[in-house]
């Protein structure tokens, strides 16, 4: 088998396994086997850029950067649905239809997925374009990001029309949302409010490689394909299933045919409580006329179709007593107020606490201790206070006064302009911050030190064995063996884990340092740009802002971190530990771009953006994120950002095409 034949075979195999796993939920190989096949395909495709295929499974990993999302007109308007909240209103909806249509009408009931509406266009079976709902008339082109969602086919199967449009919802799974928030807490960021907002924000991210890592899924259920000749909505769903789309199935009771209000209500009632057991959010049921001819006869209003309506479930709400407010200190010093509640059952779980987020939220609801508060689960997951029963405010209620000093170390709190939260500025002397930084340092995505966990850090900290992460590397077996519960094997595991951490690459070490706003992605960009911690420490704010994707907020935080004398001492100690404080240099190809500052913008025919950036570095060049007078040239692909183009033209910076660049470096 030639390498070209192997590429073709791997693409077919991976597409099949992807469909089995993400659409049919019936995998036939392990994740490990799938990953190995994908790695082989990516490797072969890099060797043969001339065989590039936009619908290859390798394109799922992302990497394309979109600075400005192009606005696109919808060929057919994406309308919103009218809402109803009772059986009586559903009966009114049916009666209005019966007045217009003499023949019996069949309805189809579907779950109303709480996600982001999307329209996807396929041409000759290949995913061509994905557009957000926007205002219904026009939306944003987010094709690069949608291609990373594995339940959405890049290439169709079976007998499909030459051109079709399919619409549906993109959503974030509940388990994925929970894990995403846990990771954000670990990185020192605010948590997302609910899965829907998380999905929406993710789809508008500029880096599709980050989107690829987010737990997005989809259901597609509205087909626009006139040439297919479908007579009903149900018929179009059956065809879409055969083409490879993830479509709501009757076997899961996600779809049901109904003839009258009683059958519709039975479907609504069946999901009233079961919806809490779903792995994703729904907020109601959609009722549609099944027959397409009848839909056309009924028509639409200026805002919504007359042949469809949405039944919205009321959010489950309970009342309970606000007993007290406690304040948590995160590793970045951020203060989070937490409501301690009289235990109450809500959406299947007992709730005792709810985040109050910040002082503004407390003021918004005018909360008093001993108030009777209304509680809901935001996104069916996170308990939140949504109001106060003022009629039941007791005589002993008293207004919550937000704390002015850190509850752990007593330091006066600060609140910077534009920040929602208060902060404890005693970064190096506040115990939760100190312990939090160490816990972040040893975490899986940072130094991943085996044998160490939060409880072990607490023990070492309380025994004054460590005060910061540099102290970890001074731990001795004899002193650890004296601690209760620490045997020789566990001690050796800890010390071996610390020794192994010396091989963790520089970008993860940089992330582990716990610089505010420097998460995994930012750490990688800074590490690849500056190559060493010393070079990063010597950078000015203006130089940092020139780095791809680094803004003023991050640059300021980096400068502040390295300017603190205590952090300078900490870094000096880290230099004696053996951990990687510089990138392992990749083999240079040439010095043809020596010292040249280059901006990469747009989409390219034969290369991924990250591959081009790697080539720039291997040939001695420097990747920068924004155009300035110091930029040597812009490597421009299709759809180059208009602001970059305008600035380059204004400053007289050269625009170099992909072909010119390839010739420049002698490929």
Could you list the beta-strand ranges (E) of 503-592: none
d(CA 288, CA 79): 14
Helical H segments across 447-540, by residue range:
454-462, 477-481, 488-500, 506-512, 520-530, 533-538
d(CA 141, CA 144): 8
b/e map of 521-535 (b: 16 or more CB within 10 Å)?
bbbbbbbbbbbebee
Closest CA to 127 of 151, 141, 147: 147
Please, are residues 600 and 623 in contact by the beta-carbon 8 Å criterion?
A: yes
Please, are residues 105 and 295 in contact by the beta-carbon 8 Å criterion?
A: no
Burial bucket for residue 299 (CB in 10 Å: 0-12, 13-18, 19+): exposed
- Residues 6 or more apart whose CB falls under 8 angstroms from that of 223 comprise 164, 165, 166, 230, 236, 237, 239, 240
What strand order describes the sheet that includes 126-132?
Answer: 126-132, 116-123, 163-172, 216-224
Residue reference for tokens 């995998």: 27
DSSP H or E stretch at residue 111:
strand 107-113
Which pair of structure tokens corresponds to residue 162? 């030459």
Helical H segments across 151-205, by residue range:
174-187, 195-203
Question: How many secondary structure helices (H) and strands (E) does the chain include?
Answer: 24, 22
Which pair of structure tokens corresponds to residue 278? 């779903």
Of the residues 47, 75, 98, 112, only one is catalytic, namely 112
Please, are residues 331 and 442 in contact by the beta-carbon 8 Å criterion?
A: no
Q: Is 663 part of the annotated catalytic residue set? A: no
Residue 540 neighbours by CB distance under 10 Å = 10
Please, are residues 432 and 331 in contact by the beta-carbon 8 Å criterion?
A: yes
Which pair of structure tokens corresponds to residue 551? 């803004």
Please, are residues 331 and 438 in contact by the beta-carbon 8 Å criterion?
A: no
Which pair of structure tokens corresponds to residue 37? 């096949």
Query: Helix or strand or coil: residue 604?
Result: coil
Which pair of structure tokens corresponds to residue 429? 């002397």
Residue reference for tokens 């605010």: 190
Dihedral sign, CA of 558, 563, 564, 567? Answer: positive
b/e map of 184-216 (b: 16 or more CB within 10 Å)?
ebbbbbebbebbbebbbebbebebbbbbbbbbb
The DSSP call for residue 191 is P
Active-site residues, by number, are 112
């Amino acid at each position: 088998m030639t390498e070209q034949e192997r590429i073709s075979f791997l693409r077919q195999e991976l597409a099949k396994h992807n469909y089995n796993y993400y659409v049919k939920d019936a995998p036939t190989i392990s994740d490990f086997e799938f990953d190995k096949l994908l790695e082989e395909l990516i490797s072969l495709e890099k060797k043969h850029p001339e065989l590039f295929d936009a619908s290859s499974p390798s394109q799922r990993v992302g990497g394309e950067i979109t600075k400005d999302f192009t606005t696109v007109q919808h060929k057919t308007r994406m309308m919103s649905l009218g809402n109803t909240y009772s059986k009586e209103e559903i009966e009114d909806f049916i009666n209005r239809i019966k007045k217009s249509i003499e023949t019996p009408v069949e309805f189809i009931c579907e779950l109303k997925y709480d996600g982001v509406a999307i329209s996807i266009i396929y041409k000759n079976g290949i995913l061509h374009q994905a557009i957000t709902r926007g205002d219904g008339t026009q939306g944003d082109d987010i094709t690069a990001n949608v291609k990373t969602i594995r339940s959405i086919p890049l290439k169709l199967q079976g007998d499909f029309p030459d051109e079709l449009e399919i619409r549906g919802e993109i959503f974030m799974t509940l388990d994925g949302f929970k894990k995403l928030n846990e990771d954000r807490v670990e990185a020192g960021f605010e948590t997302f409010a609910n899965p829907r907002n998380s999905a929406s924000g993710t789809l508008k991210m500029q880096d599709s490689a980050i989107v690829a890592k987010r737990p997005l899924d989809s259901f597609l259920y509205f087909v626009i394909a006139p040439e297919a000749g479908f007579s009903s909505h149900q018929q179009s769903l059956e065809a879409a299933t055969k083409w490879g789309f993830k479509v709501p199935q009757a076997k899961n009771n996600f779809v049901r045919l109904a003839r009258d209000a009683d059958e519709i209500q039975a479907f609504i009632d069946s999901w009233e409580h079961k919806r809490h057991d779903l792995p994703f959010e729904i907020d109601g049921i959609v009722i549609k006329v099944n027959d397409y001819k009848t839909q056309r006869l009924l028509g639409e209003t200026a805002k919504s179709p007359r042949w469809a309506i949405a039944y919205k479930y009321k959010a489950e709400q309970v009342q309970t007593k606000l007993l007290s407010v406690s304040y948590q200190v995160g590793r970045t010093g951020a203060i989070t107020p937490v409501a301690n509640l009289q235990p109450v059952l809500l959406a299947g779980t007992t709730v005792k606490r709810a985040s109050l987020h910040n002082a503004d939220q407390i003021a918004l609801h005018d909360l008093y201790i001993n108030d009777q508060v209304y509680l809901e689960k935001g996104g069916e997951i996170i308990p939140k206070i949504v109001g106060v029963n003022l009629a039941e405010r007791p005589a002993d209620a008293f207004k919550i006064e937000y704390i002015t000093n850190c509850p752990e170390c007593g330091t006066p709190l600060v609140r910077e302009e534009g920040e929602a939260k208060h902060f404890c500025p005693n970064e190096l002397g506040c115990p939760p911050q100190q312990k939090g930084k160490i816990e972040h340092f040893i975490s899986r995505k940072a130094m991943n030190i085996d044998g160490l966990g939060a409880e072990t850090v607490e023990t070492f900290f309380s025994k004054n064995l460590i005060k910061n992460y540099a102290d970890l590397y001074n731990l001795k077996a004899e002193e650890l063996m004296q601690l209760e519960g620490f045997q020789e094997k566990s001690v050796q595991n800890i010390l071996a884990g610390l020794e192994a951490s010396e091989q963790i690459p520089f970008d993860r070490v940089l992330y582990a340092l716990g610089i505010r706003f420097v998460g995994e992605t930012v750490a990688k960009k800074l590490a690849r740009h500056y190559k060493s911690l010393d070079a990063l420490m010597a950078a000015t704010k203006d130089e940092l802002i020139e780095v791809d994707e680094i803004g003023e907020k991050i640059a300021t935080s980096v400068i502040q971190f390295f300017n603190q004398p205590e952090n300078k001492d900490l870094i000096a100690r880290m230099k004696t530990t053996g951990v990687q404080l510089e990138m392992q240099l990749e083999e240079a190809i040439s010095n043809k771009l020596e010292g040249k500052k280059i901006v990469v913008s747009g989409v390219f025919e034969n290369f991924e953006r990250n591959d081009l950036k790697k080539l720039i570095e291997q040939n001695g060049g420097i990747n920068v994120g924004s155009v300035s007078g110091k930029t040597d040239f812009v490597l421009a692909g299709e759809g180059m950002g208009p602001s970059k183009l305008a600035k380059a033209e204004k400053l007289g910076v050269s625009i170099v095409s992909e072909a010119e660049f390839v010739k420049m470096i002698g490929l």
